[in-house]
Amino acid sequence: MALAEIVSHEPATGAEIWRSPVGDVDDVVARARRAWPAWAAQPLANRIELMRRFANEVRKDAEALATMIARETGKPLWEARTEVESVIGKVEISIRAYAERTAQRKLDSALQGTAALRHKPHGVMAVLGPYNFPAHLPNGHIVPALIAGNAVVFKPSEKTPATGEMLVRCFHRAGISAAVVQLLIGGPEQGQALVAHEGVDGVLFTGSAHVGIAINRRVASNPGKIVALEMGGNNPIVMWDTPKIQDAATLIVQSAFTSAGQRCSAARRLIIRDSLFDQVMDEVKRLADRIIVGAPFDDPAPFMGPVIDNRTADGLTESFVFLLSSGGRPIKHMVRLEQNLPFLSPSIIDVTDVADRPDVELFGPLLQVIRVKEFDEAIAEANNTRFGLSASLIGGTPQDYNRFWANIRAGVVNWNRPTNGASSAAPFGGIGLSGNHRPSAFYAADYCAYPVASAEMEQPRASVGVGFRNE
């Protein structure tokens, strides 16, 4: 049965925040197609100026936007404020990226004229956003797309539509036409229709591998439609020799439990040298036991909020029980902290003896631990996944890191840093089920415009050569 309206609830309280009827996909795309030519014809300097005005509008609305993000996702207010800062910072990063990645170039030759390289926008771009960073991640597609001269139809996650609405209002208040940046409210049905719509020239998606693969299949017969997929990961963090056990434990906890584990770059698997297991895991558990889980506006501020909804919490607790029943040894049990709300304790389980470990993205505060004896075994285990987004080595020598970097299959590879918290000034994307080789962040400019090569002369000049009879 098709949804008639979308209703958003606070994960931390269950209270209704917002509701709206679903949008009309055909109408929204038609408006965007009509508006696109005039937007694309504007000078680049004008579009850049409007993006900077947008950043100022977000600044003016920063606390209200952060409050909405915190309410709608359940993340702590301090983290929601950080997300708003990322939205603002994305504008200047995107301006710099467009200049660097899609710059105009000319090569003059007196006899051959001019060889020119310029870039053109694709047209109407569909942006499908996730719920974990409902402002920052879609904004990372929208701003580069607009700078390049595309019109945008943004469908936020049905779990965080109110944040999407606030973000779009900031674009409109900045002076960008409401037809150039449009909000499409809807659920999976509207998302599928938008992806398949013949008036959409590109699909920019952040979310689960399941949905990303469905999008890829849906557009496979239309090679003219550009598709950028960012689909998460089953990310490994490898723990090797280091005297700094407390620092290592902190990096592990940050990687696994920031945002209640609801980051595509969160560490899902800790692969640890057997001889370090007791010492390191004692410290990791001690630190995890100190994590404050609470509502966004609690005092003292929590480190972790709830997961997005009760269905997600139920799935995670069932996954923990499955791993237990399959031979896993609990290090820190997953506990449902409130019966009717999706608050979960951070959980850790040793799955070394679990046969055929499921290669899935368990999107929440659940860290699986695997013991190994040799470094090559650690790398092999880290690569034992169809995903390939993020990976970190904690400890080890420079030679170990060189081997790790050379052999690990991931788009983000770190040393003595968390798996998460990637910079917007670098490309962000993965391989395998993590993406389709179109990294976002600094490289978003690459999929927002296409290169056009030109050979140009002010007057026609040509001569015939071999193969022509004399007159």
Catalytic-labelled residue, pool 72, 83, 158, 230:
230
Q: Find the DSSP H helices in 152-231.
A: 161-173, 188-196, 209-219
Instruction: Specify the CATH class of 235-415 in words.
Output: alpha beta
What backbone phi and psi angles, to 5 degrees, belong to 241?
A: -65, 130
Query: Strand 366-372 and strand 267-273: pairing?
Result: parallel
The model carries a pTM of 0.96
Partners of 118 in beta bridges: 452
- Residue 1: what pLDDT? 59
- Residue 110: what pLDDT? 65
- Residue 305: what pLDDT? 98
Number of other CB atoms surrounding residue 273 within 10 Å: 20
- Residue 346: what pLDDT? 98
Q: Is 83 among the residues known to form the active site?
A: no
Query: Strand 16-21 and strand 5-9: pairing?
Result: antiparallel
Residue 389 class from Cβ within 10 Å (0-12 exposed, 13-18 middle, 19+ buried)? buried
The domain segmentation of the chain, as residue ranges, is: 5-231+435-456, 235-415
* Rounded (10°) angle between helices 136-148 and 161-173: 30
Ordered per-residue pLDDT tens for the chain, 471 residues? 567 899 999 999 999 999 999 999 999 999 999 999 999 999 999 999 999 999 999 999 999 999 999 999 999 999 999 999 999 999 999 999 999 999 899 888 767 789 999 999 999 999 999 999 999 999 999 999 999 999 999 999 999 999 999 999 999 999 999 999 999 999 999 999 999 999 999 999 999 999 999 999 999 999 999 999 999 999 999 999 999 999 999 999 999 999 999 999 999 999 999 999 999 999 999 999 999 999 999 999 999 999 999 999 999 999 999 999 999 999 999 999 999 999 999 999 999 999 999 999 999 999 999 999 999 999 999 999 999 999 999 999 999 999 999 999 999 999 999 999 999 999 999 999 999 999 999 999 999 999 999 999 988 988 888 999 887
Specify the residue for token string 């569909």.
126
- Residue 79: what pLDDT? 98
Specify the residue for token string 């929440």.
364
Distance in angstroms (rounded) separating the CA atoms of residues 199 and 300: 50
Q: What is the DSSP letter of 209?
A: H
Q: Find the DSSP H helices in 290-374.
A: 310-325
Check if CATH label 3.40.605.10 holds for domain 5-231+435-456: yes
Catalytic-labelled residue, pool 57, 170, 264, 448:
264
Q: Is 230 among the residues known to form the active site?
A: yes
